[in-house]
Amino acid sequence: MAAYTRFFAYLTVVFVAFMFVNGLFCKNPMAVTADDFFANGLDKSGDTNNRLGSAVTPVAAAQLPGLNTLGISIARLDFAPYGLIAPHLHPRATEVFTVLEGTIYVGFVTSNQPDNRPNKLFAKVLKKGDVFVFPQGLIHFQLNVGKTPAFAISALSSQNPGVVTVGNAVFGSQPPISIDVLAKAFQLDANVVKLLQSKFCASA
């Protein structure tokens, strides 16, 4: 394998500092340190001073390079009193949600059921120390139903789980989805759709 090795050695001169895995840069293994497996700041509440009164602080491969290829990430979720994380889904991950402070009403809706039966909602009011599972790709939400701030930590089964907030994706995309589609799909008057689009556009 001598020729092959020389070929590698030559490339090493040019590419000494990095490689690519899953589209992210990888450090030279010799240069890796403990800090590549470390992140901080999850003790601090995110800024919930916004329309919904909630904040998400992710720790995924984009924030913590050592997670790349390892299939897991976490996030801290903060809620002002009555704060809401609006209905959303993770296209590539299941979420395990643990309440660390407060009282939170959570739920997810199943896939469409056979025979036109309605989608089922599985919901529950959670207290400190309670755990709930949101299966991959299903729409779910979390609402602080208490008078005090709440927070939780979530584990997600991907280093790059993604988030799709339903309202924003449907009514706030750029460019917008055509009004015909939205009016018919959501059984709304076209003017209501336009109003919603302008609201989501402003609140993005």
- Contacting its own copies within 163-202 (CB under 8 A): 163-178, 180-182, 184-188, 192, 196, 199-201
Distances (CA, A) of 196 to 3, 66, 89, 143, 190: 64, 40, 20, 21, 10
Indicate the residue among 23 and 49 with the shorter CB distance to its own copies: 23
The CB-of-157 to its own copies minimum distance in angstroms stands at 4
Q: What is residue 195's three-state secondary structure?
A: helix
What part of residues 36-95 is at the interface with its own copies (CB under 8 A)?
A: 36-44, 52, 59, 63-67, 70-74, 82, 84, 86-87, 89-94
The CB-of-148 to its own copies minimum distance in angstroms stands at 15
Indicate the residue among 87 and 149 with the shorter CB distance to its own copies: 87
**Inter-residue contact 154 to 96 (CB < 8 Å):** yes
The CB-of-48 to its own copies minimum distance in angstroms stands at 13
In sign, the C-alpha dihedral spanning 177, 158, 155, 75 is: negative
- Which of 52, 74, 43, 44 is CA-nearest to residue 142? 52
Peptide bond before 81: cis, by omega within 30 degrees of 0? no
Which residue from 124, 148, 190, 191 is in contact with its own copies, where contact means CB under 8 A? 124
When asked if residue 147 is in the footprint of its own copies (CB under 8 A), the reply is no
Q: How far apart are CA 123 and CA 145, in angstroms?
A: 13
**Contact map string, positions 6 to 45, toward its own copies, x by CB under 8 A:** -xx--x-----xxxxxxxxxxx----xxxxxxxxxxxxx-
Indicate the residue among 92 and 149 with the shorter CB distance to its own copies: 92
Give the pair of three-digit tokens for residue 182.
């939205």
**Inter-residue contact 69 to 159 (CB < 8 Å):** yes
Indicate the residue among 42 and 190 with the shorter CB distance to its own copies: 42
